[in-house]
A and B are shown apart, each in its own frame.
Chain A
C-alpha cells in the first residue's frame, strides 16, 4: 500500500512541475467557438495547432481557449461525425462551423467522470453511438437500443415491451455475488439500477429495472466503456464497465443576439405481439387415457384419445347445460389469449440559449397497453438541462430528470394466478378465445348458484381461467424518481476546478392484490374433485426508497508544455452514500387473508398483518488522479490511480488502490503525406492498456449470523410467530467472514482501430484478458452445517475475449446513394479458475426443482448442474424391468447460459433523406433451463410427447445394468411414454433434460425513414420534418430443438445472476410502428 501511495504522490509532483514549465513559454491566447451545422455551440471538438501537437477540446458551449506560440497559426478542428477543418487564426479568434460527415473512428468521446476527450487519445476500447444510431429501431428502452451495436456487450431484454427488464453485461460476468450489470452513468453521475421485479425463482412479477427509466429520445450519445480500464475512475462501481449516457443540452446559435429556440416534437405509435409461442402437438386432446380415464373434462392433461373431430360436450355441466365443440386441435389457441400491445410515445423538447446560458427542456410520455389483458405501462418524464457562464470565471450547470411511472403487470412463475402457468395447463382442444367472457358461467371462477353457494364453472380443475387471473391478480408499481447533477465550477485558462453533486432519489411502491376466492365446482359429478379453488385473498405493499448521493470535487489542468508535449491532468475526491429502505406490509393469503373480498386495505385482515423493514447503507470515499500525456498528437499515455475506502469491509481491508495505465499510438501520423495514407490506410491506431479495479462487498456481508424472528416454513405453508404470544427467534442461516477482502479485477487489453480508403472501411479490434481475484460470494453450505450460506472470498474467475467491429461503405455516389454495412463480433471465454476451501462449485442463484446454476472450477460462470439420465459409454441406462431411464446418482454439469459467441450485422441504405436500416443479431452456443418445457411434457402438450404415437417403445440406444456390477447389456424392454413424460421428465426427476439450446438469430431492427428535404418547406415555420416506420425484435429463428420459448426471456430479473432460467416468464414481444418528427 505504501508503494501505491508513492505513485499517487508522484502524480502530484508531476502536476506541479508541469505548471512551472508553463511559464517558460512565449505565447499568446487564442479563443474561439466551434458550432455545428445548426450554428449551435459544439462541445468536445478537438482543436489542434497545425504542424504541432498542441491542442484542446471545446467546452460545453463550444468555446475554447488555447495558449499558442506567437505568430499566425493554423488550427485543425476535429469532431465526431464532422469533417475535419483547417482554419487560420485571425486576431486571436478562431470561429468554426462544422460540416457533418460520415462515421469514422476519430472524433470526441465521453470518458470516465464525464470528461470529453478525443477518441484518438484512448488506450482502450470504447464504442460511441449517436442518437440516430441508438434509436434507429425506436425501442422504448435505451439499453435494448444498444443490442447488436456494441461489441463486447451481452444484452438480454426479457420482454422487449415497455418497462421490461434489460440486462447488460460487458466482457462477461465477473462476480458471483454482485450485480454484473454495467454501471449506468448519466451526464457523469452514477445512477441506481435496481430490479423492480418481485423475483424469486418461483414467483415473478416483472416491473423491469430502473436503468430503463431514461428516455432514449433525451439521449444525445452513448459511450460504452467495455473494460475496467475505462471505468477505473469510478471505483468499485465501475468494475463491470460503464455505459456513459450524455443527454441533450441546449446550444445557442452564434449568429447575433436574437437566439432561436429549437423545438422538436416526436410522436411514435407502436404495436406489440408475442414473438414466439410454444409449439404444441396437434393430435391428442384432453384426457388421461393411460390412467384409464376417457372422460376427464376438468383435467389439464392432453393425454386423451386422438382427435376425431366429433362434436362433444366439454367442461362443466351447469344446471344441466354443457358446452359442445368438436374434439379437434385448436391450432395453438394460446394466441387467442393475447391482445395487440399498443404504445403511444410523445416527446417534445425546447432548446436554446444565449452567449452565457443554455437550456434544454423535454417532456416525454409513454402510454402503453400490454399484450396480456389489463396490463399497462405509463411513464411521464421531464428533463431540464441548463448551463450558465458567470462573468467572473465561475460557471454552473444543472441537469434534472423527473420520472413518474405507473405500471401493471401479470403474475408469472409459480404464483397462484400465474397467467402463463394457467395457459400452459389448458389442453390442446380447448378454444382459449372462448374463455374470455367472464360473465359466462362456463368461464366464471366465482358465481353464486340458486342455493347461495359460490361455485366456479370454468372447465379447469387445477388452474384458474387465465383471463380471470389476468383481471383479478392485480400488481401495480408506481415510481417517482429524480435524478440529476449540479455543478459549480471555476475555470481560468488551463485550470478548472469544480464540484459536482449527483443525486438519484427514487420512491418506488409496488402493490400486489390477490383475490379472495372460495368456490366449489358447479358440476358436482365425478369429473370434478371435491375441492375447488380456495384463496383467502391478500394484499402486499412494498415501498422502496432509495437515495444515492455523490459528490465529486475535481481539479483539472490542461496545458501544452511545449510544441510537442502536452499534459491533461485531473485530481479529485469522491464521496458516495447509498441508502436504501424497504418497508413491506403484507396480508399474506397463505397465513392470513382478507375479511371482506375485494377490499384491499391493511385494516381488512383476518390475522396479524406482517410488516418488515430492511435498511441498507453503503458508503465510500475516494481520492483519484488521472494524467494524460500527449506527444505530437501521435502518442498518448494515460496514468490513473484511485484509492477508495469502503464501509462494507473491515478496517484493514477496506482501503484499496486501483492503478491503471494505457497508451495509444496513432501510427498513421508517421505516414503523413504519403500516398499510402491518402489512398489506403488513412487512420490507424494501436492501443494497449491495463488496469486493476477493486470491488467491495455488499452491506453486512461480513457480519456474524444474527437472530431473526422465525418463520416456520414447510413445503407450502408458513407459520409466523409470536406463537400464542411466545416470540421465537432463530439464528440467521447466513453469515460472513469478518475479514473479507475486496474483489480485485486485473485486466489488460490490446487493440487497434483502422480506417481504410478514406473511411470507406473501418475496423476496430480488441483482445482483452482479465482475471478477478477474491470473489466475494455467499457459498451455499450443506444444511447439515447448520447454515445455508456464508460469505467468503472464494476464488478467481477469468474472462478472455475479442471484440470486433466493422463498418464498410461499398457504395457512396455523388448523387446521394449510400450503402453502409456494419457488424460486430464478440467472443468471450469465461472460466472459473479456482475456488478455495475444497469447494468445487458454488450456486449463483436459487436451486429450483433440482436445477442449480453454478460457478464450477474449470467451467464457465453459469453452468447448469442437475441430475440427468444416466449414461454408460454413450448408452442411456434404463431399468431392466420398466425400460425407463435411470437418473444419475449425483447431479452432473451440463452446459451453461454463456453464449459461445455473439454477432450482429446490419445495413443502412440512404438516398436523399430516405433511409432504410436493418439489423440482425445472434447468440450461439448457450443453453437455458426451460421450466415451461417440463410443464408441457407433464400435461402432454409438447411435441416430443407424441413420439411413436404414444405407444411403448424401447429407449434409443439403451442398456441396463446387470445387478450391481459394471456389466451392461442391451435393453429390449419397452417403456410407456406416458410414465416417462409425466412421472420422470415432467416431474423433474431428471431436470437436466429441461435444458434447451439457446441459440438464435433475430431480426433486431428494421426501419424506413424519410427526412423531407428543407427545400419543400423553406418558408414555413418548420425546421425539419421526418417520418418513418420501424420495427424491433421482429423475427426470431431458434434452434430446431427449441419449440418452447424465446431464449432471451428470463425469470430472475435483470440484476439477478441465475440467468438462463425461464419459469413462465413474461413473453418477449415483436414491436412495430410509425413515427413522425417535426422540428420548429
Chain B
C-alpha cells in the first residue's frame, strides 16, 4: 500500500461530497488579497511618496527643531523630546522604515524596469535611491547599504544586513548616479508621465537633479576628504553640467484632498490638528533684525503684525497663545489651516543648487563664475520660489521684496566678496539656512552639522543633557531588536563621518 492508494481513497470521500478534484480542492493558497505583479507606473509614485512623507514630516520636524526654526508649543508635549535632546529610539522608527521602504521600492522598480528594458525608469530609480540613501546616512551615519534591501528569498534572503561605513555608502551612491547618467543618455521611447510625481518624466530635469545631487554629495565630504571632494567636483564640472535652476526644483506638490495632502498636514490632522509647532526665537529674532520679508512666508504674524518666537525649548506657559508666531501654511506648519495641505515637500531646490554652486565658487574648485553673484542668485531663487507667498502675504513683488531686503540694514546680506573662504562660507551657509526655514529643515540642520553655520544656534532650554547638541538620529528599536549585525547605539551627541565641526 503506498501513499497514492491512501490518497486516492481519501479522494473518493471528497467525490462523495461533490468535490471534483483533490488537487483543485487544496489549491486555494494564492493570496487573493494582494496583486501578484506591479507595473513600473505604480511603483515609481509609491516610492516617491514614501520619500516625500519622510522628508515632509519627521525629517522636516526634527531638522527644523534642531536647526532652530521651530520649537514645541509649551501648551503641549508632542515634540518636547526634541528640545530635551532626549529622544527615545522609537521616535526614529517611522522615518527609518519609510526611507528603507522607499529604497526597497526603488530597487524593485529598477529590477522590473531592467527586465522590461525601460531604461528611463531604471535611471530615475537609481537617482532616487541615491538621494534616499544620502538622507539615510546623513541622518544615521553608518547604515546597512551593500547588503540592504535583499530580504526576499529571491534576492538572497539577507535577513541581517551588515552596516557599512558612511564612506562606503557615499561611494556607492556616487556610482549609482554615474550608472543613471549612462541610462539617461540612451534614447528611450518609454517615458514616465504623470506617474513621475517630481518631474513628470522630463529627463532633462532628471539629469540636472543628478548633477546637483552629485554636487551636494561631494560638498558634504569637503571637510572629511577634501581631495576626493575636489576631484569629484572637478570631474563633474568637466562634463559641462547643468544644475537645477529656478523652475527645475525637485519637489512633490500636494493638494487639498485627503489622498493628496501635504504629509505634514496629514500628520497634524492625525493629532487632531494640535498646534505643536511654534516659531523659535533663534530664527525669528535673527530674521527680524534683518528685516527679512520671508518672515511673512515662513511664519504667521500676530494680530499686531509682529513676529515673535519662543526661546528654543522654553517650556513654560508664560507665553500664552496669541503671543507667539507659528509656522505658516506655506511650510504646512499651521495645523488649524487647511491651506497647509497644499504646501509642497522640497527634495532638492533651485536655491539649494545655487548655494552649492556658490560654495564651489568660493572654494575655487572649479571655474564657475562669481561666488558673490551665485550667492545673490541663490537668495533671489529662494524669493522667487516663494513669489506667490510673498505677494499674498506682503503684497510685494519678488523684486520689491528682495531689494527691500538687500537694502535693509541686515548683516547677512553683506557678502564678503573679497573675504576668506571661511568668511564666505559663513555667509553662504547662513543664508542657505534662512532660505530653508521650515521647508528643508533636515538639510539646514545637516549643513549646520557640517559647517557650524549659522553660528548663533543656542542650547535648548529644555536640554536634559546640558550644553551639547544632537548630532545624529538614533537607530530605531526595529533595527536594534532584530538585526544580528546591529552595531550598538550611537548616542544622539556623537558625530557622523563627515562631521568634523
* B88:A296 contact, CB within 8 angstroms: no
| Total B residues in contact with A, Cβ cutoff 8 Å | 126
Indicate whether A362 reaches chain B with its CB closer than 8 angstroms.
Answer: no
Q: Given A291-B315, A728-B46, A782-B478 in contact, is the A615-B321 Cβ separation under 8 Å? A: no
Cβ contacts under 8 Å, A1 to chain B:
3
* Stretch binding the partner chain, chosen from B96-104, B231-239, B279-287, B438-446: B96-104
Indicate whether A530 reaches chain B with its CB closer than 8 angstroms.
Answer: yes
A161 smallest CB distance to B (angstroms): 30
Indicate whether A704 reaches chain B with its CB closer than 8 angstroms.
Answer: yes
Q: Given A647-B26, A723-B259, A889-B488 in contact, is the A849-B479 Cβ separation under 8 Å? A: no
Encode contact with B along A776-793: 1 for CB under 8 Å, 0 otherwise.
000111111111101000
* A785:B75 contact, CB within 8 angstroms: no
Chain B: which residue is nearest A10 at the CB level? Answer: B1
Q: Given A714-B58, A723-B259 in contact, is the A5-B316 Cβ separation under 8 Å? A: no
A416 smallest CB distance to B (angstroms): 7
Which listed residue, A9, A608, A718, A782, touches B270 by the CB 8 Å rule?
Answer: A718
* A983:B336 contact, CB within 8 angstroms: no
Indicate whether A673 reaches chain B with its CB closer than 8 angstroms.
Answer: no
Cβ contacts under 8 Å, A710 to chain B:
46, 49-50
* B27:A591 contact, CB within 8 angstroms: no
Q: Given A606-B258, A987-B81 in contact, is the A716-B464 Cβ separation under 8 Å? A: no
* B46:A786 contact, CB within 8 angstroms: no
Encode contact with A along B49-84: 1 for CB under 8 Å, 0 otherwise.
110111011100000000000000111100011001
- Which residues A716-751 have CB closer than 8 A to chain B? 716-733, 735, 737-738
- Which residues B160-192 have CB closer than 8 A to chain A? 160-161
Cβ contacts under 8 Å, B317 to chain A:
291, 293, 296, 526-527
* Stretch binding the partner chain, chosen from B30-38, B209-217, B415-423, B451-459: B30-38
A783 to B108, CA, bound (A): 15
Indicate whether A700 reaches chain B with its CB closer than 8 angstroms.
Answer: yes
Indicate whether A655 reaches chain B with its CB closer than 8 angstroms.
Answer: yes
* A617:B28 contact, CB within 8 angstroms: yes
Which listed residue, B38, B195, B482, touches A781 by the CB 8 Å rule?
Answer: B482
Indicate whether B409 reaches chain A with its CB closer than 8 angstroms.
Answer: no
Report the contact-size class of chain A (Cβ under 8 Å from the partner): 35 or more
B231 smallest CB distance to A (angstroms): 30
B464 smallest CB distance to A (angstroms): 6
Which listed residue, B27, B38, B49, B86, touches A984 by the CB 8 Å rule?
Answer: B86
* A782:B160 contact, CB within 8 angstroms: yes
Indicate whether A941 reaches chain B with its CB closer than 8 angstroms.
Answer: no
* Stretch binding the partner chain, chosen from B142-150, B358-366, B392-400: B142-150
Chain B CB within 10 Å, residue with most, of A2, A647, A713, A989: A713
* A890:B88 contact, CB within 8 angstroms: no
Indicate whether B335 reaches chain A with its CB closer than 8 angstroms.
Answer: yes
Q: Given A714-B267, A782-B160, A843-B481 in contact, is the A728-B272 Cβ separation under 8 Å? A: no
Indicate whether A90 reaches chain B with its CB closer than 8 angstroms.
Answer: no
A422 smallest CB distance to B (angstroms): 14
A269 to B97, CA, bound (A): 52
A987 smallest CB distance to B (angstroms): 6
Cβ contacts under 8 Å, A615 to chain B:
32-33
Chain B: which residue is nearest A852 at the CB level? Answer: B481
* B259:A850 contact, CB within 8 angstroms: no
Indicate whether B10 reaches chain A with its CB closer than 8 angstroms.
Answer: yes
B126 smallest CB distance to A (angstroms): 16
* B273:A715 contact, CB within 8 angstroms: no
If over half of B's interface residues share one DSSP class (helix, strand or loop), that class is named, otherwise mixed; here it is loop
A3 smallest CB distance to B (angstroms): 11
Chain B: which residue is nearest A520 at the CB level? Answer: B336
A843 to B479, CA, bound (A): 12
A201 smallest CB distance to B (angstroms): 12
Chain A: which residue is nearest B108 at the CB level? Answer: A731
* B101:A730 contact, CB within 8 angstroms: yes
- Which residues A144-169 have CB closer than 8 A to chain B? none
A413 to B150, CA, bound (A): 35
Which listed residue, B37, B158, B264, B319, touches A707 by the CB 8 Å rule?
Answer: B37
* B260:A529 contact, CB within 8 angstroms: no
Chain B: which residue is nearest A879 at the CB level? Answer: B465
Chain B: which residue is nearest A728 at the CB level? Answer: B46
* A884:B481 contact, CB within 8 angstroms: no
A398 smallest CB distance to B (angstroms): 19
Q: Given A714-B94, A718-B266, A729-B42 in contact, is the A416-B480 Cβ separation under 8 Å? A: no
Cβ contacts under 8 Å, A705 to chain B:
152
* B28:A779 contact, CB within 8 angstroms: no
* B270:A786 contact, CB within 8 angstroms: no
* B477:A715 contact, CB within 8 angstroms: no
Indicate whether A837 reaches chain B with its CB closer than 8 angstroms.
Answer: yes
Encode contact with B along A272-307: 1 for CB under 8 Å, 0 otherwise.
000000000000000000011100100000000000
* B57:A461 contact, CB within 8 angstroms: no
* A784:B479 contact, CB within 8 angstroms: yes
A645 to B43, CA, bound (A): 38
Q: Given A1-B3, A703-B29, A730-B105 in contact, is the A989-B88 Cβ separation under 8 Å? A: yes
Indicate whether B370 reaches chain A with its CB closer than 8 angstroms.
Answer: no
* B151:A530 contact, CB within 8 angstroms: no
B193 smallest CB distance to A (angstroms): 9
Indicate whether A643 reaches chain B with its CB closer than 8 angstroms.
Answer: yes
* Stretch binding the partner chain, chosen from A479-487, A532-540, A1007-1015: A532-540
Q: Given A700-B31, A707-B37 in contact, is the A728-B42 Cβ separation under 8 Å? A: yes
Cβ contacts under 8 Å, B481 to chain A:
780, 841, 843, 847, 852, 854, 865, 891
* Stretch binding the partner chain, chosen from B12-20, B114-122, B346-354: B12-20
* B151:A621 contact, CB within 8 angstroms: no
Cβ contacts under 8 Å, A726 to chain B:
45, 194-195, 197
Cβ contacts under 8 Å, A25 to chain B:
none
* A529:B275 contact, CB within 8 angstroms: yes
Cβ contacts under 8 Å, A560 to chain B:
none
Which listed residue, A623, A699, A721, A988, touches B10 by the CB 8 Å rule?
Answer: A623
Indicate whether A708 reaches chain B with its CB closer than 8 angstroms.
Answer: yes
* A529:B321 contact, CB within 8 angstroms: yes
A867 to B465, CA, bound (A): 18
A891 to B316, CA, bound (A): 33
Encode contact with A along B247-289: 1 for CB under 8 Å, 0 otherwise.
0000000010111110111111111111100000000000000
A593 to B270, CA, bound (A): 12
Cβ contacts under 8 Å, A727 to chain B:
41-42, 45
Cβ contacts under 8 Å, B266 to chain A:
590-591, 714, 717-719
A169 smallest CB distance to B (angstroms): 25
Cβ contacts under 8 Å, B81 to chain A:
983, 987
* A714:B263 contact, CB within 8 angstroms: yes
A879 smallest CB distance to B (angstroms): 8
Indicate whether B387 reaches chain A with its CB closer than 8 angstroms.
Answer: no
Q: Given A703-B29, A984-B86 in contact, is the A607-B57 Cβ separation under 8 Å? A: no
* B58:A723 contact, CB within 8 angstroms: no
* A530:B149 contact, CB within 8 angstroms: no
Cβ contacts under 8 Å, B1 to chain A:
5-6, 8-9
Chain A: which residue is nearest B51 at the CB level? Answer: A712
Indicate whether A256 reaches chain B with its CB closer than 8 angstroms.
Answer: no
B365 smallest CB distance to A (angstroms): 34
A292 to B160, CA, bound (A): 48
A837 to B10, CA, bound (A): 37
**Nearest 10 CB-CB pairs, A to B?**
A526-B320, A529-B75, A716-B270, A530-B321, A706-B34, A717-B266, A786-B104, A785-B151, A717-B267, A607-B258
A710-B50, A721-B46, A724-B260 given; name 18 further pairs at CB < 8 Å: A527-B320, A534-B272, A608-B259, A645-B10, A645-B26, A649-B29, A699-B31, A710-B46, A714-B94, A714-B264, A728-B42, A728-B43, A782-B482, A782-B483, A847-B90, A889-B489, A983-B84, A987-B81
Interchain residue pairs with CB less than 8 A apart (21): A292-B318, A529-B275, A655-B7, A704-B152, A706-B36, A707-B34, A714-B270, A717-B269, A718-B270, A723-B49, A729-B39, A729-B43, A730-B43, A735-B153, A779-B159, A780-B478, A784-B144, A840-B484, A841-B481, A852-B477, A987-B88
